[in-house]
Amino acid sequence: MEDSSVVRHFDGVAEVYDQVLPFFGAFAEAAMPFVVHAPGAKALDLAAGRGAFTERLLARGCEVTAVDGAPRMIEFLRKDQSRADSYVMDATRLDFAADTFDLVVCGFAIHIIPDPCSALAEAVRVVKPGGLLALTVPGRADGTPDPWHDPLVELYAEYRRFHPDGHGRHGNDVEESALFAQSEVIDVSATTLEVALPVPDGETYWRWSRSHGSGRFIDGLPDDKRDEMHARLLDRVNEIPHFTLRRSATLWTGRKPE
Task: Specify the 3-state DSSP secondary structure of 186.
Answer: strand
- Contact range with ligand SAM by CB under 6 A, out of 63-71, 175-183, 195-203, 225-233: 63-71
Task: List the interface residues with ligand SAM, window 140-199 (CB under 6 A).
Answer: none
Per DSSP, what are the bridge partners of residue 87? 67
**For ligand SAM, which residue of 57, 73, 103, 218 counts as binding (CB under 6 A)?**
73
- Give yes or no for residue 103 binding ligand SAM (CB under 6 A): no
CB of 70 to ligand SAM, least distance (A): 4
User: d(Cα 232, Cα 157) in Å, to the nearest integer?
Assistant: 13
User: Do 230 and 202 touch, CB atoms closer than 8 A?
Assistant: no
Size of the site for ligand SAM (CB under 6 A): 25
CB 117, min distance to ligand SAM, A: 12
Report the residue from 55, 68, 122, 176 that binds ligand SAM according to the rule CB under 6 A: 68
Rounded least distance, CB 224 to ligand SAM, Å: 28
DSSP E strands, the chain: 42-46, 63-68, 85-88, 101-107, 127-138, 186-198, 244-255
**Backbone conformation region of residue 133, classed left if phi is above 0, alpha if psi is from -120 to 50, else beta:** beta
How many residues would you count in the chain? 258
- Select 5 or 231, whichever has its Cβ closest to ligand SAM: 5
- Alpha-carbon distance of 255 to 258, in angstroms, equals 9
Contact between 215 and ligand SAM per CB under 6 A:
no
Chain residues in the site for ligand SAM (CB under 6 A): 4, 6-7, 10, 18, 24, 28, 47-49, 52, 68-70, 73, 90-92, 107-109, 112-113, 212-213
